Amino acid sequence: MEAVQLQTVHDLLMTPEERVELIGGEIVRRPMTRARHARAQSSIDRRLGPFDDGSGPGGWWILTDISVAYEPHECPSHDLAGWRRERLPRLPDGPVELPPDWVCEIVSPGHEKKDTVQIPLLLRRHQVPYYWLIWPERRTLVAHALDADGWRVIATLTGRDRARVPPFEAVELDLGVVLGDT
């Protein structure tokens, strides 16, 4: 019987392949980006721009497709993640080694387990305060906040719902616009 060799962040950095991440000690390919996924990702990034660029509430780094090295065998690439600048004053070269303050994953068909089971467990272990999931095909956004008992749903938007969703309640999100209805 042969022991399973878990791959590490170092192995991930050495791989010549693009669009890969390290999940549970295995280097895995990220799914091909579909149009609705890309639309949701770029739209959320634009809507949260004032938090990142200093023209509004400020105080955040909002990054897309960012690799976060949580543990030696865990380095996912999040669709979007944000750090309060007081916790991360400068952006590092390479993967970020500090857990974010907010993560948003856009669920791709066939990869639901990673986004709805594996990533939330990892984020909980590392005390990430906010986790959003967007299902473009279902036209749904579910926002979670971490408390002592685990993840708690703090907002659910469907269709063309509008809401101010923590931690970015200073701006109103229109899910229809985020998903490309306009």
pLDDT averaged over the chain? 91
CA pair distance 150, 120, nearest whole angstrom: 10
* Helical segments of the chain, H only: 9-14, 35-47, 49-53, 112-113, 119-125, 175-178
Task: Record the tokens describing residue 140, joined without a space.
Answer: 């749904």
Q: What is the pLDDT of residues 58-86, one digit of tens each?
A: 689 999 999 999 999 999 999 999 999 99
pLDDT value at 53 more than 90? no
Indicate the helix (H) or strand (E) that contains 174.
Answer: strand 173-174
**Is the predicted pLDDT of residue 168 greater than 90, yes or no?**
yes
| E runs forming strands in 85-170 | 102-106, 130-135, 140-147, 150-158, 162-163
